Amino acid sequence: MRKYKYHFTEKESDITIISDSKKAILKAKEVFYYHRNQLEKYIYKNKTFLTSFSPIKIYSEEPIIKLMDYASKIADVGPMAAVAGALADLMLNSMKQESNDFIPAKVALVENGGEIAIDSEENMKIGLFAGYNPLNLNIGFLIKREDCPIGIGTSSATIGHAISFGEADAVTIFAKNAAIADAVATKIGNIVKGNDIEKSIKKALDKVDDFDGVRGAFISRGNKVGYTGKIPELFKINKDKIHKVGGKFERILQGDFEILK
């Protein structure tokens, strides 16, 4: 099956879309701009939505606001902790909705700043990068058809611009959608701290089952890792397959993709 890859940036958003359908990619991009615009309008009138580290009351029927609010309440974090994942979910949903003039994509993946939403009939390989640690650089997850739809969120205290109050190299959450995965990754990431690395990982893993919609978690800190729940199959990435794109490590491994511009 021929697959296409499309990458674009808009302000803080850095997005990669993969699909077997050019129409689906264009539709996802259109949906992104619509929902981002609605989010910016809401934030302009409701500054607390942007700055709060805890769930807040919202007054909106906009899907992006409601989805972020839903995920923030599940994870007990501020709504902006779910922004990248929520946008990825809405874009993915648009790629899978059938209409009179649109056939749903068989392969649909949206990565937004490291938060990933996938619903694919073909296997997809996702790499994990969490700092310059040889262990982290060689780990990937194989997302199979039976895993989909799935949301993947990663929080890190050592890389990236997102705020984390913990000390984990990477907390990767697998959930029913990317908004929940994004928000819960932030919450769990905040727990991973303290001088005893192994104890900090175990303490965080013990909390994972408390969150609705979460399937599993993988945590890396220093030279130790831990996981719980149902996580996708792990595989080792050859070092020559690890590459940089635009100054960052690409999380979606190279494949037979035609690059759209």
DSSP string for residues in 62-106: -HHHHHHHHHHHHHTS-GGGGHHHHHHHHHHHHHH--BTTBPPPS
Provide the β-strand partners of residue 175: 151, 214
pLDDT per residue over 134-171, tens digit each? 555 567 899 999 999 999 999 886 555 555 666 788 89
Percent of residues, the chain, with pLDDT higher than 70: 85
Tokens coding 153? 């969120």
Are the C-beta atoms of 21 and 10 separated by less than 8 Å?
Answer: no
Q: Which of 124-128, 161-165, 251-255 has the lowest mean pLDDT?
A: 161-165
User: Where is mean pLDDT largest: 9-13, 103-107, 220-224, 241-245?
Assistant: 103-107
pLDDT per residue over 66-119, tens digit each? 999 999 999 999 999 999 999 999 999 999 998 878 999 999 999 998 899 999
What is residue 239's predicted lDDT score, i.e. its pLDDT? Answer: 59
Q: Which of 100-104, 147-151, 185-189, 204-208 has the lowest mean pLDDT?
A: 100-104
- Provide the CA 252 distance to its chain's centre, in angstroms: 12
What is residue 134's predicted lDDT score, i.e. its pLDDT? Answer: 53
- Between CA 124 and CA 17, with CA 83 as vertex, the angle to 5 degrees is 30
Measured distance CA(65)–CA(123) in Å, rounded: 31
- Provide the CA 228 distance to its chain's centre, in angstroms: 18
What is residue 140's predicted lDDT score, i.e. its pLDDT? Answer: 86
Q: Which domains does the chain have, with CATH numbers?
A: 3-260 (3.10.520.10)
Mean pLDDT of the chain, nearest integer = 88
The residue type at 194 = G
Contacts of 47 (CB under 8 A, 6+ apart): none
Sign of CA dihedral 224, 206, 150, 29: negative
pTM: 0.91
What is residue 157's predicted lDDT score, i.e. its pLDDT? Answer: 66
Backbone angles phi, psi at 102, to 5 degrees: -140, 125
Banded pLDDT at 218 (limits 50, 70, 90): very high
